[in-house]
């Protein structure tokens, strides 16, 4: 256990995920404590810690633009058109997001004084939002493909045969109402943990840009909870690579 923790924290990505989890934990905690009188000092400390965690994460993200561009180039080699398009678009938007993020970090360090931070922050948020939308589109394509394959395949053995019949029955009923279709979604996601984790992570991450862009306003408690869930999933996929969705 200790060796795994050391190996995890030796990775830049691992340390960034820990900082992210701490940042959103602070956001959630100070939101909860703000509801109680007499906690003003603790709330201010949590807000300062949250800000420090956010600044620390920017350091770990320096250079991620190159990683995103490499990932986009690798995605161009995928044989299937839809995942190829979604992942190339997602990684290119991630690269632009990291460029904007680096500019904002340089401004905060005092390297530039005539940069419109509000405009660059909005650009970064839009790029992050588009990247997440493309990720979710790829997730939905993967989900649809697995549902179709599960509905058509019956593996040998009674247990698998029963499961195949159940899935086919659900598939045939999918046009008759929403509940059978949602049940079909449930069985498919349950049988593919990497896909389930990726969908949950992307949906949680989406709350922040939706709030920043004014598309769906929420509060710091929801943002903190969603960010914490996403961060825990990120930590899990770093420590357990087999749980990371592969294109």
Give the mean model confidence (pLDDT) for residues 120-136: 96
What mean pLDDT is predicted for residues 120-137? 96
Which pLDDT band holds residue 126 (cuts at 50, 70, 90)? very high
Question: Would you state the pLDDT for residue 246?
Answer: 85
* Helices assigned H by DSSP within 154-219: 158-173, 178-190, 193-212
Of the two residues 224 and 62, the one the predictor is more confident about is 224
Helix (H) or strand (E) holding 138: helix 117-152
Q: What is the mean pLDDT of residues 85-103?
A: 94
Contacts of residue 218, Cβ cutoff 8 Å, sequence gap at least 6: 207, 210, 211
**pLDDT tens per residue across span 48-93:** 999 888 887 887 787 788 889 999 999 999 999 999 999 999 999 9
Whether 7 has a pLDDT exceeding 80, the answer reads no
What local confidence, expressed as pLDDT, does residue 177 receive? 58
At 153 the three-state DSSP class reads coil
pLDDT confidence of 13, banded at 50, 70, 90?
confident
What pTM, to 2 d.p., does this model score? Answer: 0.82
In whole angstroms, give the CA distance from residue 223 to residue 243: 24
pLDDT band at 3, cuts 50/70/90? low
């Amino acid at each position: 256990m200790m060796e795994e923790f050391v190996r995890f924290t030796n990775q830049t990505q691992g340390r960034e995920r820990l900082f992210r989890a701490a940042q959103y934990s602070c956001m959630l905690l100070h939101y909860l404590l703000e509801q109680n009188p007499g906690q003003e000092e603790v709330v201010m400390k949590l807000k300062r810690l949250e800000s420090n965690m956010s600044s620390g994460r920017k350091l770990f993200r320096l250079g991620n633009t190159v990683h995103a561009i490499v990932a986009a180039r690798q995605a161009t080699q995928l044989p299937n058109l839809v995942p190829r398009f979604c992942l190339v678009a997602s990684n290119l938007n991630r690269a632009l997001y990291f460029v904007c993020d680096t500019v904002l970090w340089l401004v905060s360090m005092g390297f530039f004084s005539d940069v419109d931070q509000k405009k660059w922050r909005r650009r970064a948020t839009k790029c992050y939002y588009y990247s997440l939308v493309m990720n979710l589109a790829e997730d939905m394509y993967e989900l649809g493909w697995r549902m179709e394959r599960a509905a058509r395949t019956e593996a040998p053995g009674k247990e698998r045969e029963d499961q195949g019949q159940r899935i086919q029955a659900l598939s045939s009923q999918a046009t008759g109402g929403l509940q059978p279709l949602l049940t079909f979604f449930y069985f498919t996601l349950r049988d593919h943990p990497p896909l389930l984790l990726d969908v949950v992570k992307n949906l949680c991450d989406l709350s922040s840009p939706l709030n920043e862009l004014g598309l769906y306003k929420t509060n710091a408690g929801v943002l903190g909870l969603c960010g914490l869930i996403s961060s825990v999933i990120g930590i899990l996929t770093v420590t357990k690579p087999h749980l990371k969705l592969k294109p």
